[in-house]
Chain A
Amino acid sequence: MSPYPSLSDAELVRHCRAGDADAWNELVERYSRYVFAIAVRGFHLSKEDAEDVFQDIFTRIYTRLDSLRDDSALRPWIAQLTRRRCLDQLASRGRELQVDEVLVEEESTDLTEVEEAFTVREALLGLPAACQDILDRFFTRDQSYKTISDELEIPSGTIASRIARCLRRLREEIEGRNEASEGSRE
């Protein structure tokens, strides 16, 4: 089993700086959904524009990793790079007049939700693999009960209850993390 998914962002950054290809693969895996969501959900870019932003952001991350001052601040750094790049993309499409509207509207709704979704996803990764898998299949890959049942070889009549059980575990995981976080601040 690869050790990389369990590395903190700071550890991952250090491995990437050392030229570790597996660490880079993990960094892309960890943040690909995040960058994609900011571009598509936060700024409503077209698929073509989102792809340009996506590739450009990972190129910038790769080439500018040495300029990151605080290795543990990878996520806000990526968020900032992506938001700026999305605005540039909108401007290049002649949508300058809409940029302010986008910022005002989206900063308060969609982008905030993307941040919240990333936190939930981090908690998801703390669940057993079977729970991660079934929740990912149902919620982000839009698989039907039948497809999940066929692919995982479990009775379709138990899918709903398994999903509900995993959602409860996810909620407990989030609440546990929040309590730990509050405890560490006291």
Chain B
Amino acid sequence: MQLPYDEERLGVLLRLLRPAPEAWVRAAQELPGARRTLDEIVARAEADLAFRTALIADLERALVAEGYEPDRRFLNEIRDRLTEN
């Protein structure tokens, strides 16, 4: 580590760690809830053939019809999980 620190150097280092966009941070903090929702959808798709068929036919529309508000990442993950199963 470079020592001693003068004011200019401290300023440079403080500026390096700028806050991430608030929406990104919020989405990351909401991950546990999103994961639970995802698990519920996959579990339901395994138990309910009609729901699974609707998801495979048009994933986004089927989820919106069920009251979900899926974003791109959520859709990709569900798609991957359905493919795995």
- What distance in Å separates the Cβ of B66 from its nearest Cβ neighbour in chain A? 22
Residues A140 and B24 in contact in the complex (CB < 8 Å), given A24-B31, A59-B31, A62-B32:
no
- Interface membership of B25, Cβ < 8 A: yes
- Please choose the segment from A83-91, A151-159, A171-179 that sits at the chain B interface, where 4 or more of its residues have CB less than 8 A away: A171-179
**Dominant SS at the A interface?**
helix
Contact B20–A32 (Cβ < 8 Å): yes
Q: Does A108 contact B (CB under 8 A)?
A: no
A35-B20, A41-B16, A124-B14 known; A29-B32 Cβ under 8 A:
no
A25 touching B29, Cβ below 8 Å: yes
* A15-54 to B contact mask, C-beta < 8 Å, 1/0: 0000101001100110011111100010000000001001
Size of the chain A interface, CB-CB below 8 angstroms: 41
The interface residues of chain A lying within 8 Å CB-to-CB of B29 are 24-25, 28-29
Question: Is B79 close to A, CB under 8 A?
Answer: no
Assess the B10–A164 pair: CB atoms within 8 A: no
Q: Which residues of B contact A170 (CB under 8 A)?
A: 5, 10
Tell me the residues in window 9-50 of chain B with beta carbons closer than 8 Å to chain A beta carbons: 10-21, 24-25, 27-29, 31-32, 35
**A120 CB contact (under 8 Å) in B4, B13, B20, B35:** B13
Interface stretch of the complex, out of A5-13, A71-79, A111-119: A111-119
The count of A-to-B residue pairs whose CB atoms sit within 8 angstroms is 93
Q: Please tell me the number of chain B residues within 8 Å of chain A, measured between CB atoms.
A: 27
**A140, chain B: closest CB distance, angstroms:** 5
Q: Which residues of B contact A34 (CB under 8 A)?
A: 17
> A141 on the interface (CB 8 Å rule)?
yes
A111 to chain B, nearest CB (A): 11
Asked whether any CB of chain A lies closer than 8 Å to the CB of B57, the reply is no
Which residues does chain A contribute within 8 Å of B4, judged by CB atoms?
A: 171, 175
Query: Shortest distance in angstroms between B61's beta carbon and chain A's nearest beta carbon?
Result: 23
Residues B18 and A113 in contact, CB atoms below 8 Å apart? no
Q: Which of A85-107 contact B (CB under 8 A)?
A: none
Are the CB atoms of B10 and A120 closer together than 8 Å?
A: yes
B7 to nearest A CB, angstroms? 5
Binary interface profile of A, 128-142, with partner B (CB < 8 Å = 1, else 0)?
000000011001110
- Partner-A contacts on B (CB < 8 A): 1-5, 7, 10-21, 24-25, 27-29, 31-32, 35, 73
11 A-B contact pairs sorted by A residue (CB < 8 Å):
A24-B32, A32-B24, A33-B17, A35-B20, A41-B16, A55-B73, A62-B31, A113-B16, A114-B17, A116-B13, A167-B11
